[in-house]
Structure 1
Amino acid sequence: MADFPVKEAMKMPTQGKRKSRGDEDAYRRLGGPIHQERHVKIVCVGAGASGLLFAYKIQRHFENVDLTIYEKNSEVSGTWWENKYPGCACDVPSHNYTWSFEPKQDWSAVYAGSGEIFDYFNSFAHKYRLHKYIKTGHQVVSATWDDDHCGYKVTAKDLSSGNEVHDTCDILINASGILNNWRWPAIPGLHDYNGPLLHTANWDSSVELEGKHVGLIGNGSSGIQVLPTIQPKVKHVTTFIREPTWVSPVQGLEQHVYTPQERQDFVNKPGALTEYRKGIETGLNGQFGLFLKNTTVNNATHDYMVGQMKEKINDERLISKLIPEWSVGCRRLTPGVNYLESLTKPNVSVVYGEIDKITERGCVCDDGNEYPIDVLICATGFDTTFKPRFPLIAPNGKNLQDEWAKEPRSYLGIAASEFPNYLVFLGPNCPIGNGPVLSAIELQADYMCKLIDHWQTHNIKKFSPKKEAVDDFIDHKNTFMQQTVWNDPCRSWYKSGQIDAPITALWPGSTLHYIEALADLRMEDFDVEYSGNRFSWLGNGYSQTELDQTADWAYYIREYDDGEWLSRGKRRKDLTKSGTVKGREQVNFSGKDAEQQSKL
């Protein structure tokens, strides 16, 4: 066999970074090998958990990438930097509020406080040196598609100087989060109040609560955490509750402070922490039946929570007001550590109903009474409409803020039709309340990386989900949601704070279901526009392997077939170690609902 072609190939130089765009770029790439990774510039909005994970993934998996992350706060970690109210914690068990590959051995308790969670994500950023991508104190104020450069013009405001910073990117990532844009309640006269006015997401630690009569508006997750923390310290608390909600830890996931021995075992016993984390994750993933009407797990959880709430409240008047008639899970569940017990303390008054207005002295409620207070705390949540925090302008001039104002319609929770090269973490109808949320964020990051890789290696100029693909996804979602407890008549941020509205914040399935749904790209669902000839990525006829003198040029020659499984079923069974777990009970559906669920 002649060795001339091999020797000539080994002399071929590797290709450097290319920054050209458009048809000229397509022409020039004919001089490079197949799948040559062209340079890609990415702007990411937000350095919370999602933004930090995205930076880690890009750093680990890509070459020839320029990444800039604009973060409005002075520190990273997003909501866990911003929220410092008394009792602030996560309602997900702490050992499973971590990245799957990055455990933390020394959590203090099952439900850790916001300070510990901030330390986790901040330490993650330092460990992997992610700060080099991040511009803190910079808030993105606009992003507009520029056809000439096939990307976005991004404007950010330097919050320290007030100056504007102008940037461009090929791909725009929105990692600003859903529980990030806090808002005051829409109550008449709110700012007429003469005393200290606080919001849980914008806490002023200089305000003294000790010895004061405090008013607390809201019984969502924040309000439920605040009350038991301030109750022992203040003179009196009047808590204003508009609607009932389910409050109780899921059985087996009650609050627990880890002993020194337990923490030592997590460090020193091989596999102990992994086994513990997998046990909790398995339990969280096994709860999805709770959100389907008339399932065994839903009915059993309802009975358990009713019993727990009655036992902890032990007051017939409050029981009649605070235990909901709608299904368990219609609103986000919260462990509510010591919340129900606090409602019956001598220095706590519960006012049930609507607040008609707020005066200089306090709150006037629909019972006709005015309740004077010294300090007013609003635990009233966030703007959960999914609209971007900044104008985002498409090639056709549409603003995504307007497009998603009434009903946000996404593709699989990560993209919007007609908005090319734009991807969003925790977008509409992603599994933010279906099960373990960080696992879902990891899969979103992986899916984005696959799209970016496809853009980088296939000469793509623009990609966005087809409108008909989004419409079909929304139709499927709406049909599925009719069978869930989320469709019950409760006021929930899952439905943009409304009682009867489309469910816009949840995925039509479990977290594991979402993980499998996003396992592979579905480019058939995307409108794709190429720079010139769609096959120019084939290049000059050489593979990249031939240009790598350190690579095995006969890597496919082997002694037995150890290749990846070519069917989805085989890959899934291999990945999930199917057959290694014995004796797990299956979810059982009761009555006619079993037939309906099988049809879904």
Structure 2
Amino acid sequence: MADFPVRDAIKLPTLGKRKSRADEDSQRRMGGPIHQERHVKVICVGAGASGLLLAYKMQRHFENFELTIYEKNSEVSGTWWENKYPGCACDVPSHNYTWSFEPKKDWSAVYAGSGEIFEYFNSFAEKYRLQQYVKTSHQVVASNWDEQHSGWIVTAKDLKTGLEVQDKCDILINAGGILNNWRWPAIPGLHDYKGTLLHTANWDDKVSLEGKHVGLIGNGSSGIQVLPTVQPKVSHITTFIREPTWVSPVQGLEQHVFTPQERNDFAQKPEILTDYRKKIETGLNGQFGLFLKDTTVNNATHDYMVQQMKEKINDERLISKLIPEWSVGCRRLTPGVNYLETLTKPNVTVVYGEIEKITERGCVCDDGNEYPIDVLICATGFDTTFKPRFPLINPSGKNLQDEWAKEPKSYLGIAAADFPNYLIFLGPNCPIGNGPVLSAIELQADYMCKLIDHWQTHNIKTFSPKMEAVNDFIAHKNEFMKRTVWQDPCRSWYKSGEINAPITALWPGSTLHYIEALSDLRMEDYNVEYAGNRFSWLGNGYSQTELDPTADWAYYIREYDDGEWLSRSKRRKDLTKSGTIKSREAVSFTGKDADSSQSKL
């Protein structure tokens, strides 16, 4: 057999005279092998959970890259560093509020507090040395498209010095979050109040509530967590509620502090923890029918929650005010540990209705009464309009803040038409309330990495979703939403705080549906502009394999066909281990099903 002179060094031809960046990229590619990876610079806004995951994914999957994450806080972990109010916790079971590949074995309870959650994400950053990519105390204040370099010029303010710095990138990613930009309530006279004014998302832990008469505005997730936590400490608390809401352990799990034996089993027997996490995740993924009108699970859950709320409130006047007429799930569901029971404590007054104004002493409500208080806590949420928190100017001079002022319209919750090389974590109409949210963030990070890889290995200059693709997606979304409980007349941040408005925060389907929808890039939905000849990525005729002296140059010769599946259905069945589950009962959230979600340790 003849010996072939293989694996010799391949000499790349010298580049000609440089002209434009596009010509330079095209010429460089002609001098290298197919899919030569060009350097990519990525800027990410925000080092919360999403930003940290992006850093992890890029560090794991890419080589020729630079990543800078600008974070306005002095620490990473975003909302879980910011929110420190009494009772602050996640309403997702703690063992499933982790990355799929990074379990935490020592959670204290089913619903963990914000301190523990911060520690999880902070430890994740430390374990994988992700802080090397982060510039803390730097707030992005502007971003402008640079036509000459086909990238973004990002302006960030150093919050310690007040100086502004400029940076350039090929791809800009916004991981600023949705429940992050807190706001005061729009109530006349708020800042005339002479007592102590607090917001749950900007908590001052130096303020003592001991022996004080406290006022609490809001019965969303934050208010529901604050009330039972501060009630034992204060002399009296007046909680102001303008609308009813559904409150119950709807995730299928009551609060439970893990025993030493349970924590030991989680730590020492990985299969027990994995089984426990899978059971909860299955339950979370199985709740989507709850959000569809007139389904069996929706009707059964409604009846169960009415029963539970009546038993826990046990006060006919409050029952008539606090149980909604609109469907279960129209607003985000909150477990509400001990919230309903606390409403009838002797030192709690419930004032139902609108606050007309705030005086120096307290709140004047539409019942004509003024309620004097020492400390006023505003649990009034966040700006959930999805507009970027900084001007984002595209090649034609349009600002995305203006384009999304009335109604944000994204491409699959991840990109915006006419804004090239710009991607968004948890953008409009992604599954932030449809099921497990961290699994959706992981999927978005993977999708972004695929786009970055496509940019890096092809001579792409810009990519952005086509306007017609965005319009078609929005039309499909609006039609689908007619079947859901979210369409009911409730005031929800899913609809930018309105009662009757387009649903801008949720995906038209389940989380598992979203994972399948974004499993592949649909480049036909994108406007793509190339740097030079679109086929320059073919290079000098050599493959990447031939440049690797350690690679098997006959890797496709084998004894049997073990190649990847070429049909979507086969790939899905293989990925999801189809056939391994023998039977599955219909998922409902009634009392008898709640305990079945928990692992028997």
Verify same fold: TM over 0.5: yes
Rounded Cα–Cα distance in structure 1 between residues aligned with 2:310 and 2:12: 71
Rounded Cα–Cα distance in structure 1 between residues aligned with 2:129 and 2:557: 39
Confirm whether residue 559 of structure 1 aligns to residue 573 of structure 2: no
Partner of 2:592: none
Residue 21 of structure 1, CA deviation = 3.0
Number of matched pairs: 584
Q: Is the 8 A contact 2:283 2:587 kept in 1?
A: no
Taking structure 2 as the reference length, what is the TM-score of the superposition? Answer: 0.96
Taking structure 1 as the reference length, what is the TM-score of the superposition? Answer: 0.96
Residue 11 of structure 1, CA deviation = 1.7
Partner of 1:12: 10
Partner of 2:508: 508
Partner of 1:121: 121
The aligned amino acid for 1:12 is I
Residue 27 of structure 1, CA deviation = 1.6
Q: Is the 8 A contact 1:296 1:587 kept in 2?
A: no
Rounded Cα–Cα distance in structure 2 between residues aligned with 1:552 and 1:168: 39
Partner of 1:570: 570
Rounded Cα–Cα distance in structure 1 between residues aligned with 2:294 and 2:441: 29
Residue 14 of structure 1, CA deviation = 8.7
The aligned amino acid for 2:111 is Y
**Deviates most, 374-383 or 248-257:** 248-257
Unaligned runs of 5+ in 2: 589-601
Partner of 1:533: 533
Q: Is the 8 A contact 1:71 1:139 kept in 2?
A: yes
Partner of 1:43: 43
The aligned amino acid for 1:74 is S
Partner of 2:58: 58
Partner of 2:255: 255
Rounded Cα–Cα distance in structure 1 between residues aligned with 2:29 and 2:423: 26
Deviations 1:222-255, CA, capped at 9 Å, x for gaps = 0000000000000000000010000000263111
Residue 270 of structure 1, CA deviation = 3.7
Give the secondary-structure state (helix, strand or coil) at the position aligned to 2:320: helix
Confirm whether residue 446 of structure 1 aligns to residue 441 of structure 2: no
Rounded Cα–Cα distance in structure 2 between residues aligned with 1:458 and 1:51: 25
Rounded Cα–Cα distance in structure 1 between residues aligned with 2:267 and 2:43: 38
Give the secondary-structure state (helix, strand or coil) at the position aligned to 1:10: coil
Q: Is the 8 A contact 1:14 1:547 kept in 2?
A: no
Deviations 1:48-104, CA, capped at 9 Å, x for gaps = 000000000000000110000000000000000000000000000000000000000
- Cα gap change, 1:348/1:15 in structure 2, threshold over 3 Å: closer, same or farther? farther
Q: Is the 8 A contact 2:13 2:31 kept in 1?
A: no
Partner of 2:148: 148
Give the secondary-structure state (helix, strand or coil) at the position aligned to 2:249: coil
Rounded Cα–Cα distance in structure 2 between residues aligned with 1:14 and 1:3: 24
Give the secondary-structure state (helix, strand or coil) at the position aligned to 1:454: helix
Partner of 1:498: 498
The aligned amino acid for 1:397 is G
Rounded Cα–Cα distance in structure 2 between residues aligned with 1:270 and 1:201: 36
**Deviates most, 21-30 or 254-263:** 21-30
**Deviates most, 372-381 or 575-584:** 575-584
Unaligned runs of 5+ in 1: 589-600
Partner of 1:281: 281
The aligned amino acid for 1:395 is P
- Cα gap change, 1:429/1:214 in structure 2, threshold over 3 Å: closer, same or farther? same
Residue 584 of structure 1, CA deviation = 1.0
Partner of 1:102: 102
Deviations 1:89-131, CA, capped at 9 Å, x for gaps = 0000000000000000000000000000000000000000000
Partner of 1:596: none
Rounded Cα–Cα distance in structure 1 between residues aligned with 2:23 and 2:220: 54
Partner of 1:436: 436
Partner of 2:307: 307
- Cα gap change, 1:91/1:251 in structure 2, threshold over 3 Å: closer, same or farther? closer
The aligned amino acid for 1:561 is D
The aligned amino acid for 2:10 is M
The aligned amino acid for 2:325 is E
- Cα gap change, 1:319/1:14 in structure 2, threshold over 3 Å: closer, same or farther? farther
Partner of 1:396: 396
Rounded Cα–Cα distance in structure 2 between residues aligned with 1:199 and 1:235: 20
Partner of 1:31: 31
Q: Is the 8 A contact 1:460 1:529 kept in 2?
A: yes
Over the residues paired in the alignment, what is the CA RMSD in angstroms? 1.4
Rounded Cα–Cα distance in structure 1 between residues aligned with 2:499 and 2:75: 36
Deviations 1:380-417, CA, capped at 9 Å, x for gaps = 00000000010000001000000001000000000000
Partner of 1:223: 223
Residue 339 of structure 1, CA deviation = 0.2
Displaced runs of 4+ in structure 1, greater than 2 A? 1-4, 13-16, 585-588
Q: Percent identity?
A: 85
Confirm whether residue 75 of structure 1 aligns to residue 75 of structure 2: yes
Q: Is the 8 A contact 1:410 1:429 kept in 2?
A: yes
Give the secondary-structure state (helix, strand or coil) at the position aligned to 1:271: helix
Rounded Cα–Cα distance in structure 2 between residues aligned with 1:327 and 1:86: 30
Partner of 1:338: 338
Rounded Cα–Cα distance in structure 1 between residues aligned with 2:430 and 2:516: 13
Rounded Cα–Cα distance in structure 1 between residues aligned with 2:40 and 2:524: 23
Partner of 1:182: 182
